[in-house]
Structure 1
């Protein structure tokens, strides 16, 4: 409720009189709606559907895996509503890995840092000699595509698995209502198996920090990123040949011929052994060289 003063002036007997009236008005709260209850509001759901259709018609401002797919764009819109972010900005930070929609680690980190679950920013502790993991090198690989084999040049790490032993990061933040930093468990670089991002080669300290933030959030404030995964958390499946070469089959005639050959070889070996035994027996029983 809002109380306002309404002033009006009038002239009475040559004097300017001022009359003050108290006017009572009702202050309306802003019409806001969350992503969770939008599906139960017919008007809001219609507006979201129209926006998702408009978003799906985009050719440049949305990634290829979302273009022309209103239902997937609707999921992005609702997720952006929950985070209070621009749906187009959220869409640009998504990737499709093995049929699973993944969000970039940078976006997930920003969502957690800007949420009300923590106070301030995240804190990081690094352990070990990270200078050992700063070298990179270029290699050439052969890959199979639709049009045959092709060659690509990639930059890979220039260090070994032994160099990663002992390197870790520890992530911490101040939870809402607390005054001290809550530190998570150390995350060791040697224990990170899935590394889909090329930044694991050029900037491993940043990537492991992003991953540590997600692990910390899933333990201490899971409601912030419930059901949200980054490409580094989705295991990359190994490529396999879809149409392998058929196994060479043998005809009945070839099998019979092979069996006959093996039988003949076995019989020949048996005959040789018999002749050798007979010859040794004659030598042993002979009384002279002429008899042998």
Structure 2
């Protein structure tokens, strides 16, 4: 008597049916969907691959579908690429980061660069610089990108920045080459250094005008000196009344003294 659970048999048979409906590309690669149905079948199959796929894709057909769609234009196997991806942080909604090796592999596998990217180096130590060159199909000459000096590159999350800086410089410069000359090649694909870099602060001068700018200017501007008063200065009503009262009191005091000085 077969003790194998019925659910396992159904699951296995279902995967067989899905696999029968999949087609291989001319170079023998499996994960090259020809339709939305085929893409979903591939994603479902990949999500049940167990330890052959990175844990973040297990039982997650949606994530598998996204990775298959990213890998398909380059002809890369998403089962392999899955091990070159990871969550950028421990947050539940953290984006997926790609290892620099996978990003450069996408560039070379795209077919857009004749013969793949090439690298050369200048300087030593902290002044070490990498020059990445690649020739696009429609260009007569190779295009180059130079990295900053090694000491100027931040952040450096990978331990290879210390153990093998030339390799990391090649990854860094190859990625920048693609960002500059073929930005459409890596849309939505980032490595952990890009995702963890501090946000760029906007230093563009604001247009003149606006309530906030006027309020800020008012807080900074010193109080103006009072304008000088020109012409005749007229007393106020209170000042006139006080002066009249003082005159009346002075007159009463004077009359009182005069009466005291009259001889008998």
Common fold: TM-score over 0.5: yes
Residue 56 (structure 1) aligned to one of 44, 47, 50: 47
Q: Please state how far the C-alpha of 1:213 moved relative to its aligned partner.
A: 0.5
CA distance in 2 between partners of 1:175 and 1:169 (Å): 19
CA distance in 2 between partners of 1:187 and 1:127 (Å): 11
Residue 91 (structure 1) aligned to one of 69, 82, 107: 82
Corresponding position: 1:176 with 2:169:
no
Q: 1:167 to 1:48 in 2, by over 3 A?
A: same
CA distance in 2 between partners of 1:201 and 1:89 (Å): 26
Counterpart in the other structure of 2:158: 197
CA distance in 1 between partners of 2:135 and 2:110 (Å): 12
CA distance in 1 between partners of 2:108 and 2:48 (Å): 32
Aligned partner of residue 38 in structure 2, secondary structure: helix
Counterpart in the other structure of 2:257: none
Pick the structure with more helix per residue: 2
CA distance in 2 between partners of 1:209 and 1:199 (Å): 12
Counterpart in the other structure of 2:118: 123
Gaps of 5+ in 2: 1-22, 26-32, 199-264
The residue correspondences of 1:97-176 to structure 2 (distance < 5 A) are: 97-98=88-89, 99-130=94-125, 164=126, 166-176=127-137
CA contact (8 A) 1:196 1:236 kept: no
Counterpart in the other structure of 2:184: 223
Q: Please state how far the C-alpha of 1:97 moved relative to its aligned partner.
A: 0.9
CA contact (8 A) 2:129 2:146 kept: no
TM-score (norm 2): 0.57
Q: 1:188 to 1:51 in 2, by over 3 A?
A: same
Aligned partner of residue 190 in structure 2, secondary structure: coil
Q: Please state how far the C-alpha of 1:203 moved relative to its aligned partner.
A: 0.6
Counterpart in the other structure of 1:70: 61
| Higher RCO (CA < 8 A, seq sep 6+) | 1
Gaps of 5+ in 1: 1-29, 33-37, 131-163, 238-292
The Cα offsets for residues 204-229 of structure 1, whole Å up to 9 and x where unpaired, read as 11011101001111110112212211
CA contact (8 A) 1:97 1:236 kept: no
The Cα offsets for residues 67-123 of structure 1, whole Å up to 9 and x where unpaired, read as 121111110111121221212112121111121111111111122112222111322
Aligned-residue Cα RMSD (Å) equals 2.3
Q: Please state how far the C-alpha of 1:236 moved relative to its aligned partner.
A: 7.2
CA contact (8 A) 1:197 1:231 kept: no
The Cα offsets for residues 227-270 of structure 1, whole Å up to 9 and x where unpaired, read as 21112222179xxxxxxxxxxxxxxxxxxxxxxxxxxxxxxxxx
CA distance in 2 between partners of 1:85 and 1:169 (Å): 26
The residue correspondences of 1:26-37 to structure 2 (distance < 5 A) are: none
Corresponding position: 1:233 with 2:224:
no
